Amino acid sequence: MLLEVFIIQEGASLLLLRHSFTKKKYEMNGNLFSGLISALSMFTSELEIGDIKHFQTGELRVLITTYKNIIFVGLVDDDPHSEFIEISLKKIREEFLKEFSEEITNWNGKISLFNGFTKNIDEIVFTEFSKYFIEKDFPKNVINVVRNSQSKFESKYLKFIGKETGIARAETQSSFKSLKKQIRKELNLFSINNVSSLSDQELQINIPMCPICRGIKTPEFSCKFLEGFIEGYIEKSLNLDSIQVKETKCIAHGDEQCRFIANLN
């Protein structure tokens, strides 16, 4: 899995941006790491032996790609899923250079300029994650992938992955009634559920045997993937700009079932 991304200015060995995707934080000094990567890049260039593409430490793999004196580095665990990671890093590089090429040429030294790009990185990585790990063989892998991801990712990322999956799965519906029928059918692919109308702008979805939080005990509601999935599915089905879906009951929280309220206003 892709754990962290570093963006480094090669000549100055300057860390422009560091972004982590997981709950586990690696306590390495980002500036020292940037200096190491930059030095390796310059040495191999001087020796004319070709660029270092990756190297391995005890439990991590470091992937490196350089373009126009900007080094993009991916910190990867021992199960790299190379296709997903290569695509993600390539898109991060392309998006960064597209957005900041002019600023880098005339850069005034303010690193804060790049802080907002973390949102772009999140969108790229977790959109690709959804495509690679969930959408490809849906619904075969959805339960295992999401349950394994819960221990790694912050809840906001799980909701984002769910929403991207829901958008990818949805088809345009002509009415509120047809939406209810279709979303029940879609959720039945991996979970028994009941969908009912609270009003003409509000849906209630009950999942009595939730596969996402089965066996989990937590004071927090833990089905963020399903929250996002329902949200994305409804938005795409009814061509809405934005709706709100909220989990109001959760088995992991001690409730008898998981419940989601979708407000279409």
Q: Find the CATH number of the domain harbouring 207.
A: 3.30.1380.20
Q: Give the domain range for residue 148.
A: 137-263
Cα-only R_g, the chain: 21
Supply the pLDDT for residue 135: 87
Question: Which whole number is the average pLDDT over 28-51?
Answer: 72
Q: Specify which of 17-26, 65-74, 76-85, 162-171 reaches the highest per-range mean pLDDT.
A: 162-171
Where a domain ends, among 86, 101, 124?
A: 124
How many whole angstroms separate alpha carbon 11 and alpha carbon 194? 59
Q: Are residues 32 and 53 in the same domain?
A: yes
Does residue 110 belong to any structural domain of this protein? Answer: yes
Cβ(83)–Cβ(65) under 8 Å?
no
Share of the chain above pLDDT 70, in %: 94
Judge whether residue 9 has pLDDT over 90: no
How many whole angstroms separate alpha carbon 187 and alpha carbon 132? 20
Q: Are residues 160 and 193 in the same domain?
A: yes
Q: Are residues 80 and 29 in the same domain?
A: yes
Confidence of residue 27 (pLDDT cuts 50, 70, 90): confident
Residue pointed to by tokens 């929250």: 227
pLDDT tens digits for range 110-126 = 888 899 999 999 999 99
**Exposed, middle or buried, 248 (CB in 10 Å: 0-12/13-18/19+)?**
exposed
Cis-peptide, bond into residue 139, ω within 30° of zero: yes
Cα–Cα–Cα angle for 151, 257, 143, rounded to 5 degrees: 40
Side chain identity, residue 162: G
Where would I find the beta strands (DSSP E) of 21-164?
54-56, 61-67, 70-76
How many whole angstroms separate alpha carbon 244 and alpha carbon 242? 7
Q: What are phi and psi of 82, to 5 degrees?
A: -55, -40
Does residue 75 belong to any structural domain of this protein? Answer: yes
Where a domain ends, among 124, 149, 176?
A: 124
Cβ(7)–Cβ(37) under 8 Å?
no
Q: Are residues 46 and 67 in the same domain?
A: yes
Cβ(15)–Cβ(30) under 8 Å?
yes
How many whole angstroms separate alpha carbon 62 and alpha carbon 85? 11
Supply the pLDDT for residue 49: 45
How many whole angstroms separate alpha carbon 150 and alpha carbon 109? 38
Residue 239 CB partners (closer than 8 Å, separation 6+): 172
- Tally the domains of the chain: 2
Judge whether residue 235 has pLDDT over 60: yes
